[in-house]
Structure 1
Amino acid sequence: MEKNVMAVVNGVEILESDVDRFIDLMGNRALPYKNPEGKKQLCEELIKQELIIQDCYNKKLDESEAFVKEITEIKRSILAKHFLNELFSDIKVSDEEIKEYYEENKNLFMSKYVFKAKHILVESEEKAKELKKRAENGESFEELAMECSMCPSKEVGGDLGEFTQGQMVLEFENTCIDSEVGKVSEPVKTQFGYHIIKLESKVAPEQLSLEEVKDEIEKSIIKAKEQIAYVSKMDSLMKVSNVERNY
């Protein structure tokens, strides 16, 4: 295959294929350079890189103690990575294992609560109790929120829209779980102040299907198997090695 030499730096060729590899490494950022002018710009960058590398070799920086030490550490890190890749290369998970894990741990695979709610946030419990009473006596919860709430949601009558379990602070979330739809909750204290909550709707958790959680289960089993393989390998290496500890 004929090579297209785009530049020569002190005798070192920079090929179009080098520029193409550079483009591949750039990923999504490479789009503006996938044309003749763009390739020329990237070639200029490769020329600068080559000049830097050549200057480093001329100054024998590759022989410096700091460089050699850093290269040694990089090699050790890469070797450790390859050690783990080799150790884990044969680990697989069967459909039967996934199904068995699912059946034994169904309680772990539930959807989250989904809520729709409005709230009023005030500074004191006394104020929260007063507003709860006013709402229960027929005053509009939304108007009370617009009048009294410290939360930016006051602009929309305290409406928080739809949110799922885990999105709100725990005290607020637990109150939503325990509250009855349409009723105004007792005041609940959070880091923000005191809330009264009017639950608009609540969808309870449901059992997720095996297909929905299959990938998650597979990752969990693989992780467990990798841990077992690692511990076993370390034990075997320890048994045949002389390790002196000075602590």
Structure 2
Amino acid sequence: MNIKFLGTVALVGAVVAGCNKETQEDESAEKAPVPDAVVLKVNGVELKRSAIENDVEAVIKVHGDKIPAEQLGNIRKQIRSQVVQGYISRIVLSAKAKEGGFVVTDAERKAREEEIVKSLSNQPGGPKSLDEFFKKVYPFGEKRGREEFEQGMLIDKMIKDAQAKAPAVDYKAKAEEIIATIVSNNMKVVSDADALKKIKEIKARLDKVDAKGLAAAFAEEAKNNSACPSSANGGDLGDFGRGAMVPEFDKVAFELPVGKVSEPVKTQFGYHLVFVTSKTPAVEAKGDTPASPEKVRASHVLIKVETPRPVPKVDVIVESLKRQAEGEFSRKFVMAEIEKAKIEAFDDEFKAFAPKSAAKDACKDKDCGECPVEKTEGK
């Protein structure tokens, strides 16, 4: 797991892409805040509005050409939220890492730098070194970039150490279970030849049924054998006009006489038998009555043609499982540490970041001695 110190920089792309124009708000209508007011305290560390706003403006300055003017107000709020979350995480986790005595070696630092530069090299005009990135791209400057890089390294090391002490997981056994499931499912896959054979067998059974009982027999075959959700209704697809179905199916449905079962029809979904139950001719517009296109009502039986799923190698699955586990462990670790932190809000706009403080403010009797918030803070 890597605590990405580049997270705020990457934020704007996601925010801009996901912004909903219908929810824009004009930030100019907000009450002007006091720039240097302390808005949050995180374990006693003061966080001023000016620091937050400077970061927001720095990010917007770097990515401003990608932000539509009409969406700037809403995007600014989303960036502000991410900036605050970043501050809280760094304050809480870096302090814990220092208390734990974690130290980053030169070899670890070099390896991480190379990893970051490699990931950035895929971008057009990507920096060739971390220093170049800090100077030309990073919105908060080289000095802070280095500080956050070091913090991220310490935090990563702390989390990896915690995960190493957690109960061991046999990823190889899990991978083998996954492979066994894939192999088992592949054995149930219906090949093209098998699907054609099965649809022909159904057709042969239906050919033996007289006209009077054909509709009921077809519905029964659909219920028992069709891979389409319409099987619950005996394969009935309802009325549809030309072009509503894939071309191969459409052609047969409109050419087939009512009450007849088609020969097997191959489409992208597999093999079908089509049974037309009624046809409605086209009607020209007359007076206030609009024109009505030709329609048919048909049922079908579908036998899907399936492709076996590739069976991955054990080590590939093991690595994937490890990455997933590392990400989940890191997420829970960070959330747990932030939950334990003492976060105080001094501005209504930031109370969402200090849920304990907000709950305490909402309490009707702050001196009752039974406040659950007080208890969770160890008082």
Q: Smaller-chain TM-score range?
A: 0.3 to 0.5
TM-score (normalised: structure 1): 0.36
- Structure with greater strand percent: 1
TM-score (normalised: structure 2): 0.25
